[in-house]
Amino acid sequence: MRVNMILDKINKPNDIKRIDPEEYEQLAQEIRQFLIDSISKTGGHLASNLGVVELTMALHIVFDLPTDKLIWDVGHQSYTHKILTGRKNQFNKLRKYGGMSGFPKRNESNYDAFDTGHSSTSISAGLGYASARNITGEDYHVISVIGDGALTGGMAYEALNNASSLKKNFIIVLNDNSMSISENVGGISRILDDVRSSYSYYDLKEDVKNTLHKLPNGDALVEKIKKTKSNIKQFIVPGQIFEDMGIQYLGPVDGHNIHKLIKIFNIAKRVDSPVLVHVVTQKGHGYAPAEKNPSRFHGIGPFDIKTGKSLSVGKGESYSAVFSRKICDIAKNDRSVVAITAAMPDGTGLDKFKKWFPDRFFDVGIAEEHAVTFSAGLAAGGMKPVFAVYSSFLQRAFDQILHDVCMQQLHVVFAIDRAGLVGSDGETHQGIFDLSFLSVIPNMTIIAPKNGWELENALEFALEHFYGPIAIRYPRGCAYTGLSEYAQPIEYGKSELIHEGSHICLMAVGNMMETALTTGERLKEYNIDATIVNARFVKPIDEDMICDIADEHELLVTLEENVYTGGFGEAVSRYTQMNGLNIRTLGIALPDDYIEHGNVDILKHEAGIDAEAVFDRIMETIADMKNNG
Ligand SMILES: Cc1ncc(C[n+]2csc(CCOP(=O)(O)OP(=O)(O)O)c2C)c(N)n1
Ligand SMILES: CC(=O)[C@@H](O)[C@H](O)COP(=O)(O)O
Ligand SMILES: [Mg+2]
């Protein structure tokens, strides 16, 4: 029989304000159980969310949302916030097409003050809100919640530096669980470790003062410390680094003690300047498998609650795993190969490289801009750096790629994972712009392998037979194993003929080769024997091949999982027009838009780039060509 649950009383925003404080702990437990139950079915970001249950409850109790503005960094930890703002019943469709997003979305709820997904933006956005508030004369609080991992990102420091001049209240909550997706890295992380281990918790700061007061001459000692700003201040104020920047520091406080959290947020509210509240939490708190292995439960598919074991069936080796294996193979024989990640060693497959070649592995934190310029420096110093990075996270390093790598024509290899639609993370994470933003940069070369073998060959080509900036882009998920008989080694700028037909040519980029093959089969049913070409190079385009195709065909269809604007199809079409080639082009690509979350097959269909949609568009084009002579 189901007992009455306190969570049943949480149905609309601010219901938590009516809960008896004695029931807070019970409610926290019920929220945790709810998260475990529902994420075990849908998948999602579990460990981070389990860690912030009490923190989120306390923020909702102390602050007046949505008048006060609460901004979540990355936003993957906003599930309790969603529960507390009337979205509990939408968890069955979490990250599904048409369902609730896994990140804060202003168009989903007015309790979501700012859209996030990429890291280290919350302090900038919060400071913007606070500055707008000061100008308009409104009266509300702004609270940015940033994790210790997100605090490794450069933007966070740019924002802190800027925030120090603010004269009014702005609350930064540092949710410190000593983890990024993997273990956190770097100097700031070490400082936080020291704070955590030397100060049991916030009360101790007061305790130290009290203890000093009790000593003979204690009062004088406390006064002296206050006046001299001596190093002993460090002993009393653990967040010295923030205080020195003009940002008040409160903490550290136990992030699983809701009553202490409420107390400290009430103090933070009254501070007349930027204030950082250092909250110590445990990633995965309350669920043993996630506490034990927070990285695995950071983002997870459906799993068995009892054992914590994944319920997803492996369908083959992923592109990330192929990359992982190949870079290690090459690095065994070539000591100049070094690998760089921006806090994604597991997701990119560099975890293996880290184990085998620790001296040549660099996790720079969530710092893609730095990672690119750091790679440029490594290349200038004679190394062969491979920066493995998700497509959407590389967006923020545009100038570093242009100014620091390509302008100097340095030999940096970009291994661009998650290129194309990624699915449930949605619009912030779809890797659908890389072909466009990389194509405009002079000196850049771009390869998109058609299958796992070609990814291996592309990496070998990039590291051993090429000098200069080069990007290899491949999608999330299983590596395609088809077309294994087409294994001509990669030659600079050259595409690969897969099948010679007539009238129509399908020229596909990377994983769109599978779609091209299926479309080709479908066209055969209508007696159309289409030529099929693997583009391989997106930059430079294979001009000779395009001229040959134009001589022999009437329609050239380009296929890519990237927006059309600035992509492969646009480049090919421009080339045919500028050179007066007698061929019509049809660009199959994504629209000039952001693509929401959901199953990739559904998204491809909706965007008009799956085999069915491609076939329809080709038939329409053929009809149009016939009608217009
Ligand atoms: C620009 C960017 N790079 C990488 C990521 C991938 N990413 C998502 S969460 C995360 C770790 C964040 O750690 P932290 O802020 O401490 O939050 P926690 O997961 O520990 O709660 C990373 C690296 C991202 N979202 N954005
Ligand atoms: C929140 C975030 O940015 C990451 O956790 C991301 O969701 C990982 O994506 P993958 O599951 O594709 O590794
Ligand atoms: Mg963390």
Mean pLDDT by 10 residues, the chain (629 residues): 86 98 98 98 98 98 98 98 98 98 98 98 98 98 98 97 95 97 92 79 50 53 46 56 92 97 98 96 98 98 97 90 98 98 98 98 98 98 98 98 98 98 98 98 98 98 97 98 96 98 98 98 97 98 98 98 98 98 98 98 98 98 92
Ligand 3 centroid from CA 500, angstroms: 53
Alpha-carbon dihedral angle through residues 308, 309, 315, 316, given to the nearest 10 degrees: 100
Q: In ligand 2, which atom is closest to the CA atom of 422?
A: 12
Residue 395 backbone dihedrals phi, psi, to 5 degrees: -55, -35
pTM higher than 0.90 for the full model?
yes
Domains with residue ranges and CATH for the chain = 26-199+238-292 (3.40.50.970), 319-473 (3.40.50.970), 496-627 (3.40.50.920)
List residues bridging with 44 in a β-sheet.
300
Nearest to 365 by CA among 352, 355, 374, 356: 374
Catalytic annotation present for 283: yes
Strand extents, DSSP E, 429-569: 445-447, 470-473, 496-499, 503-508, 531-534, 537-539, 553-563
321 annotated as ligand-binding: no
Report yes or no: 240 and 233 within 8 Å, Cβ to Cβ: yes
Task: Give the three-class secondary structure for 524.
Answer: helix
Please provide the DSSP assignment of 45-90 as one string: -HHHHHHTHHHHHHHHHHS-TTTSEEEESSSTT-HHHHIIIIIGGG
Asked whether the bond before 274 is cis by omega within 30 degrees of 0, the reply is: no
Report yes or no: 110 and 55 within 8 Å, Cβ to Cβ: no
Position 117 scores a pLDDT of 98
Amino acid at 92: N
C-alpha separations of 335 from 7, 38, 383 in Å: 57, 47, 8
Position 239 scores a pLDDT of 81
Catalytic annotation present for 270: no
* Predicted complex ipTM: 0.99
Task: Give the three-class secondary structure for 119.
Answer: coil
Tell me how far apart the alpha carbons of residues 120 and 367 are, in angstroms, rounded to a whole number: 9
Report yes or no: 315 and 82 within 8 Å, Cβ to Cβ: no
Position 4 scores a pLDDT of 85
Q: In ligand 2, which atom is closest to the CA atom of 428?
A: 3
Report yes or no: 329 and 480 within 8 Å, Cβ to Cβ: no
Ligand 3 (ion): residues with CB under 5 Å are: 147-149, 177, 179
Residue keyed to tokens 């609460």: 70
Task: Supply the residue whose CA is at minimum distance from atom 4 of ligand 2.
Answer: 299
Catalytic annotation present for 82: no
What's the token pair of residue 575? 């080339």
DSSP 387: E
